[in-house]
Amino acid sequence: MSVDWEKIRKEEWPVLEKITFLDTACVSFAPQRTVRAIKDFADFTARQDEANSSEHHIAMDGLRDKAYAEAARLLNADSEEIAVAESTTHGLNIAATSLPIEDGDNIVTANLEFIQVVLPWCAMRRTKNIDIRVARPADGRFTASDFEALCDERTRMVVISSVEWCSGWKMDLAEIGAMCRKRGVYFVVDAVQQLGVGKIDVKKCHVDILTSGGHKWLNSPYGAGIVYINKEILGGIEPVFWGYLNTKAPEEGWGAYWENPSAPPVNDWEFVRTARRFEIGGTSNYPGAVALGESLGLVNEIGIENIERRIFDLSTYCLDMWESLGAAAITHRDADHRSGIVITRLYDDLAVDRAILRNLHARKIFIAQRFTDYVGGFRTSCQFFNSERDIDALGSALREEIKKIGRAPDYRG
């Protein structure tokens, strides 16, 4: 399929004509179709086309359906395995509070993770005697063997990002998932730096729980995200919060149930056995779900394989540009482990790099600077709505900054 990237950019992201934006890994802009969907929803909330208020509320619930369907399509998941949550953080907390772990157990993670990835388990150490083991490969190239080397009979789960936020390394989820399955440990994945620009097929790689907010590479910055829960574990774990919309709906429907004089408040409620059981189950973030459905729909319309190829080409062009300036690439060029994130350093004096970043921002050229465990640098995000001219504009500005500094880049690690 041939994709007219320039047409998509002009129609969906007019803001990109005013700035040079290469910071999707922080937070992206909504496409115009998503903006229109939010406006339509706002209009929906200001009127009532349905027969009564109860039917209006039920119709509002139904507006979330597109998000579930599009998320299942993107992940090649079954619909019962998809929940909509507030954020990646929400999804990680679902994993932390629902997957069993006891005193003496341990989890395994990576040293380059964003703080939130293992934070719920860090907090858990206040009340449980659990160990968090950290893989630290010397070259930043994580493999399944790095995590397996830390596993023992008390390991309960491996918790990692599918793409490391401060290096751009893309994990081999199939390899790591197979290892976890073989050892009988849960595999929890934060996919917020990959979902929307990299293919994840949950029928081809084993994952127990995967979570991603919509505000980065899915281009839906409205406080809603995806949680995938493998149907193999759905029947064996329980949520820590309960809502009436997670119960099986009455045969006559909620509208009729609420009008039933004998409806009891205390009952042995039967809950759905799907991933939605792990949502709060009450009146939810409808604008977020509506926006998420539209943004996911755009990704699926373009095709994740097309997007993945586009990201690879742009990130290669970006790496080439940085290295042509004399920058040190922190991101590895391994083709199977590349993502939309390119990390580089220019000067050994971090204060100089920080001054460059401030000057870029003043010129409305937006990249970021991110570090974890002494790994990181300038972070350039190559999203499918970007173009080579964005990267050229960044390169031109960097050349001017280097000229002002008066000496060649000298970072060698």
The CATH number of residue 236's host domain is 3.40.640.10
What gap in Å lies between CA 374 and CA 351, rounded to an integer?
15
User: 286 with 185, same domain?
Assistant: yes
pLDDT tens digit sequence for 344-354: 999 999 999 99
pLDDT tens digit sequence for 122-153: 999 999 999 999 999 999 999 999 999 999 99
User: 280 with 337, same domain?
Assistant: no
* Residue 412 falls inside a structural domain: no
Quick one: which of 225, 204, 217 has its CA closest to 285? Answer: 225
Q: Is the pLDDT score of 1 beyond 80? A: no
Tokens, residue 174? 């199939």
* Residue 246 falls inside a structural domain: yes
Last residue of a domain, one of 282, 299, 316: 299
Structure confidence at residue 258 (pLDDT): 84
Confidence at 107, pLDDT banded by 50, 70, 90: very high
What gap in Å lies between CA 323 and CA 345, rounded to an integer?
10
* Residue 91 falls inside a structural domain: yes
User: 366 with 325, same domain?
Assistant: yes
DSSP string, 264-301: -SS--PPBPSSGGGGS--SS--HHHHHHHHHHHHHHHH
User: 356 with 267, same domain?
Assistant: no
Average pLDDT over residues 93-98: 98
b/e code 131-148 from CB counts within 10 Å (16+ = b):
eeeebebeebebbbebbb
User: 314 with 242, same domain?
Assistant: no
Structure confidence at residue 185 (pLDDT): 98
pLDDT tens digit sequence for 291-341: 999 999 999 999 999 999 999 999 999 999 999 999 999 999 999 999 999
Structure confidence at residue 256 (pLDDT): 87
What type of residue is 3? V
How many domains is the chain partitioned into structurally? 2
* Residue 264 falls inside a structural domain: yes
User: 315 with 260, same domain?
Assistant: no
User: 315 with 286, same domain?
Assistant: no
The CATH number of residue 357's host domain is 3.90.1150.10
User: 132 with 274, same domain?
Assistant: yes
Average pLDDT over residues 378-383: 98
- pTM of the predicted model, to two decimals? 0.97
Average pLDDT over residues 243-251: 90
User: 213 with 339, same domain?
Assistant: no
b/e code 281-319 from CB counts within 10 Å (16+ = b):
beebbbbbbbbbbbbbbbbeebebeebbebbbebbebbb
pLDDT tens digit sequence for 154-210: 999 999 999 999 999 999 999 999 999 999 999 999 999 999 999 999 999 999 999
User: 146 with 42, same domain?
Assistant: yes
Q: Tell me which residue range forms the domain holding 124.
A: 37-299
Last residue of a domain, one of 299, 316, 331: 299
User: 196 with 60, same domain?
Assistant: yes
Least confident of 83-92, 241-250, 365-374: 241-250
Structure confidence at residue 219 (pLDDT): 98
* Residue 127 falls inside a structural domain: yes
User: 17 with 77, same domain?
Assistant: no
